[in-house]
Structure 1
Amino acid sequence: MRIALVIISLLYSTTTLACECLWQGPFKAVYSDADLVVYGKVERSQGNGFDLSINEVIQGSEYREQIRIWGKKDNLCRPEASEFPPGSQWIMALKRIDNPPEDAFNPFKANISFGRQDDFSLSSCGVYWLAVNEARVSGNILGGSRWQYLDPKKTPVIMPVFQAWLQKILPDEALAEAARPQSEARKLLNETKIFLWEDQRNLLPEPEQESDEQFGPVRPNLRSGLPAEKPQETIAEPSVNDLD
């Protein structure tokens, strides 16, 4: 009887602490509604929170160079903080914590918290985070199955292509093509093309050097205040032999 009660209580607690939310979709479907979209690096992690150093603010505004992000707690629909180890880099679409509840902080569990005022939370109800490794972005940016955050069949997208898509310079079709599964030969060819393109883009044409005598400004005569006359070409007098 006692064992049955324990099992029932465990099942009840698991049910009550389960996260319930509707799947919001891939990164494209969720990032525009976020309070802050950033690219950064995890510096440290403790309990259900971690600190992220911001490399770039993609959307929104934030004056701090480092922010605290809170993950899973009880039945909150958030990912486990352990999924974001120190040293890892991410693009995250975050919600700012405003007016946290009175029980946000438990003094008996100092490392577990709902979050502090003006900290940020990360939702697990969509693709709210994308992994970045060696300047390549991984994750379901445009589409994917429900509750699928990463499709291992897709090719990571290089950061310049992802940024161009965010700025609406590249359409969805171009990003989808970049993420399409590639053979090793095609991947090497594309990386070579990208390298040559970036190298060519960084080359600036050198300014043409003009002749000072032909296009130089006329220097004024400081004594008379009038423009100095250009030196006259010296014409050699004809010699006797020339007159013959």
Structure 2
Amino acid sequence: MKKTILIIFVLLISIKSFACSCECTGDCSFSAISDNQNFVALIKVIEYTDFLEDEIYGYDGKMPYSMTVEIVKKYKGSESKKRIKIWGDNGILCRPYISNFEVGKYYLIAPSIIENDSQTGKANDYDFFACWTDYLEVDYEKQIAYGKYSWWRKEISLEKFERKLEK
């Protein structure tokens, strides 16, 4: 019995380590990441665009693989499009799943640009890195972003965020 439990435990650990196994070193809060990214914006999720062909364990229905978002306000960067596409995880990419984002909701984002066309995204589209805090959920009515903004702050008003970027 102990041997069976040990084998199951080792299998579970090894399966989990196959997925994105990363650890952030240093300050990976939104404040630090947004300071170092070329593009930072407030966006609204318009639609899920592409879907994975394979089923994802624990998710009912078609898993979204990318989303189209509308740029509500650009804080930083040279992006000129009003709508952009952001790609998510397919189970092995160290990106958050697009299902974490809700259609119609707002987010403060500091994504990375995809440089080359591939099966995991198209050039000049964007993605997030699962080991950083490169997006925060926004309550648009209250104008407050929620999540790991900094080591000690779990929310920030959009007004304070804008003032910080202007410095």
TM-score, with length taken from structure 2: 0.74
Equivalent residue, structure 2, for 1:69: 86
Equivalent residue, structure 1, for 2:133: 127
| Alignment of 1:30 onto 2:38 | no
| Alignment of 1:80 onto 2:80 | no
Gaps of 5+ in 2: 1-7, 52-63
- Aligned structure 1 segments of 4 or more residues deviating by more than 6 angstroms: 7-11
Deviations 1:45-73 (A, max 9, x none): 24221111001111111111100001122
Gaps of 5+ in 1: 1-6, 106-113, 145-149, 169-244
| Alignment-mate amino acid for residue 122 of structure 1 | F
1:185-200 aligned at under 5 Å gives the runs: none
Q: Post-superposition shift, 1:37?
A: 0.8
Equivalent residue, structure 2, for 1:164: 163
Equivalent residue, structure 1, for 2:17: 15
* Contact 1:19–1:75 (8 Å) recurs in 2: no
Aligned length: 144
Residue 110 of structure 2 aligns to a residue in which SS? strand
2:21 and 2:93 map into 1 onto residues whose CA distance is 6
Q: Relative to structure 1, is the Cα distance of residues 35 and 165 closer, same or farther in structure 2, using a 3 angstrom cutoff?
A: closer
Q: Relative to structure 1, is the Cα distance of residues 10 and 127 closer, same or farther in structure 2, using a 3 angstrom cutoff?
A: closer
1:161 and 1:27 map into 2 onto residues whose CA distance is 14
Given the alignment, which residue of 58, 72, 82 partners 2:75?
Answer: 58
Q: Relative to structure 1, is the Cα distance of residues 161 and 15 closer, same or farther in structure 2, using a 3 angstrom cutoff?
A: closer
Give the CA RMSD over aligned residues.
2.5
1:25 and 1:54 map into 2 onto residues whose CA distance is 23
Which protein is richer in helix relative to its size? 1
Identity percentage over the alignment?
25
1:21 and 1:99 map into 2 onto residues whose CA distance is 26
* Contact 2:149–2:156 (8 Å) recurs in 1: no
Q: Relative to structure 1, is the Cα distance of residues 80 and 119 closer, same or farther in structure 2, using a 3 angstrom cutoff?
A: same
TM-score, with length taken from structure 1: 0.52
Deviations 1:56-115 (A, max 9, x none): 111111111100001122322211111111011011001110124xxx32xxxxxxxx11
1:73 and 1:35 map into 2 onto residues whose CA distance is 25
1:98-117 aligned at under 5 Å gives the runs: 98-100=115-117, 104-105=118-119, 114-117=120-123
2:17 and 2:158 map into 1 onto residues whose CA distance is 41
Given the alignment, which residue of 129, 137, 149 partners 1:141?
Answer: 149
2:145 and 2:12 map into 1 onto residues whose CA distance is 40
